[in-house]
Structure 1
């Protein structure tokens, strides 16, 4: 028997006026003649994003959802060179501590997925430096919440640069320039165009990084490939993690737009995966990457309740028998 828990990404489709990703562009910042006033406005936006994140967490608790991915855009321009020297954490400390206390009280699993410009295997040194700077922001946010940062940030391997082998080895080389505390925060995900499950496993096994299996990405990259033969290797990458194994689930928008995420999750596609892995792990946390966010989770749970060999636990969790 395996426990399956569902989560969703960043934005709630059920709550009104609760965006955790409100922003200010660099152009808007630069247009404000009073720099200090512009910084204070950035801080107010960041606090609003955190307040909305807290609202979403309360919504999740009410609906028995225990797994959530924070927006990586909580603090606009946090790592931009124009804002060098800005101590963005200082005005956020109280709210971050409040959020962290709520997360721990209700035993929630939370994490981040930094944006596509965070690229560890870049041949450009400045891109690597800026990537580490961005990852440090995520680390500080987790520390501000007093949440153990270990395995809380999902990354893609990065760019392929028309040479998979060299790009994988560059990741290994650049990894030594990533501070240990940030290394310990990272999980890697297979993608849909550049790095296959086996490519990503190579790095995860070599560097001791947990692998998040994205089933949709795998199908988009290799529809005929037998992923099941690698599943035990995926599970082994989590053997030293304090967290249960995690995967991503989404469904193709259409056959001709297979790589695009649909609004909802195809329950049959999801159970095709689950029926292959049931019993191999005591628990698996499944992050829904569907356009309809929490609404997709609620819809999926209604469909799951109607299936055989399932025992419901609560609003987002069930036993797979």
Structure 2
């Protein structure tokens, strides 16, 4: 059985771990309300995933809305303790890997120091949240390589330098290749140098080609279970994800990783989420 999972919410948004609010409405009462809702719906989503045998799930970035924002009062986290405690206890009922993928503004190679500082703050809070919920080391926090900023080589060096300097990042950080700037080969080089895992995205790779040995990507994970992203080309702008997965894209992934494919966690990045996994399972069995 292949290990598939989906991200953040059900395709119809009936259940979500990403309920948030407008920044103007940021106060403890609203944060508590959203965290309660996100926690309850996380358990419902994990119950669903368990029933379908989907052993991975990606948490929404707004699970605790604005947790890294300067207007977020850190004292609120103590007041939220009962919700965190209950969620932590419930998570023990599931053998499901939980990960998170901060947004595009979380970059570690910006020439602007304040951007890196804000990004480190975001990562620090997600690391804290995962520790608080008792999520093990397979609970990785994934980001892209960042921008090229007119000098790709220097930007890559800055990325490596930041990760090496902030050694705590090794606890949970993972890096992913993207469709425009950093190829799989380039991100693999960074991951080897910094000894952090690489999440391979096959769709991004198809748009930003390079040569590498797939086995080397798996090795970056050490004792942790490797993870990859699977999506298909959607309509509209460059890099858009489709509603469903085309079977040929899965078979391309399997061709790369061969016998290892069944031991890799495959995050399905399709707009139809859980429905896309079901259809893909049907397509690759028949």
Q: TM-score, normalised by structure 1?
A: 0.83
**SS of equivalent to 1:205:** helix
CA contact (8 A) 2:43 2:91 kept: no
In structure 2, the partner of 1:7 is: 5
In structure 2, the partner of 1:20 is: 17
**SS of equivalent to 1:6:** strand
Q: Give the one of 215, 227, 234 matched to 2:217.
A: 234
Q: Paired residues, what number? A: 286
CA contact (8 A) 1:150 1:186 kept: no
Q: Distance in 1 between matches of 2:38 and 2:19?
A: 6
Greater mean alpha carbon deviation, residues 47-56 or residues 95-104: 95-104
Shift of residue 189 of structure 1?
Answer: 0.5
**Pairwise CA RMSD:** 2.0
Greater mean alpha carbon deviation, residues 209-218 or residues 5-14: 5-14
Q: Distance in 1 between matches of 2:40 and 2:188?
A: 37
In structure 1, the partner of 2:97 is: 109
Q: Give the one of 169, 186, 199 matched to 1:199.
A: 186
Q: Distance in 1 between matches of 2:174 and 2:129?
A: 17
Q: Distance in 1 between matches of 2:23 and 2:83?
A: 25
Q: Give the one of 40, 62, 85 matched to 2:29.
A: 40
**SS of equivalent to 1:130:** helix
Q: Distance in 2 between matches of 1:193 and 1:79?
A: 27
Q: Distance in 2 between matches of 1:164 and 1:124?
A: 15
In structure 2, the partner of 1:311 is: none
Q: Give the one of 164, 184, 197 matched to 2:171.
A: 184
CA contact (8 A) 1:156 1:188 kept: yes
Q: Distance in 1 between matches of 2:92 and 2:156?
A: 36
Greater mean alpha carbon deviation, residues 208-217 or residues 50-59: 50-59
CA contact (8 A) 2:229 2:267 kept: yes
Query: Does 1 or 2 have the higher relative contact order (CA < 8 Å, sep 6+)?
Result: 1
Shift of residue 149 of structure 1?
Answer: 3.9
Q: TM-score, normalised by structure 2?
A: 0.92
Call closer, same or farther: CA 1:62–1:92 in 2, change over 3 Å.
Answer: farther
Call closer, same or farther: CA 1:297–1:281 in 2, change over 3 Å.
Answer: closer
Greater mean alpha carbon deviation, residues 200-209 or residues 91-100: 91-100
